[in-house]
Amino acid sequence: MRPKDFATSLIIRTIARALRQQRGATAIEYGLILALMVIAMIVGLTALANSTTGMWNTVDTKVRVAR
């Protein structure tokens, strides 16, 4: 292999490695964003479920008293 071919090959491999590492970092960032969104949804839906359960318990109590 000629020195020029070796240098070109080395540069191409280095650039390819850097691009792969960037893609991996981006995938991890998107994964973290998705995880935070899921946690926020779980917290929000839990609060909504508790509120809704309380409302239906109140309705049930009022219906029982009204009989």
Number of domains in the chain: 1
More confident of the two residues 10 and 59? 59
pLDDT at 63 over 90: yes
Q: Give the single-character DSSP code of 1.
A: -
C-alpha to C-alpha distances, 21 to 8, 12, 13, 14, nearest whole angstrom: 20, 14, 12, 11
pLDDT at 4: 66
The angle formed by the CA atoms of residues 39, 43 and 47, to the nearest 5 degrees, is 165
* pLDDT 10s digits, 6-53: 777 877 887 777 777 777 778 788 889 999 999 999 999 999 998 999
> pTM score > 0.75 for this model?
no
Domain that holds residue 29: 3-66
Q: Which residue has the tokens 């960032």?
A: 29
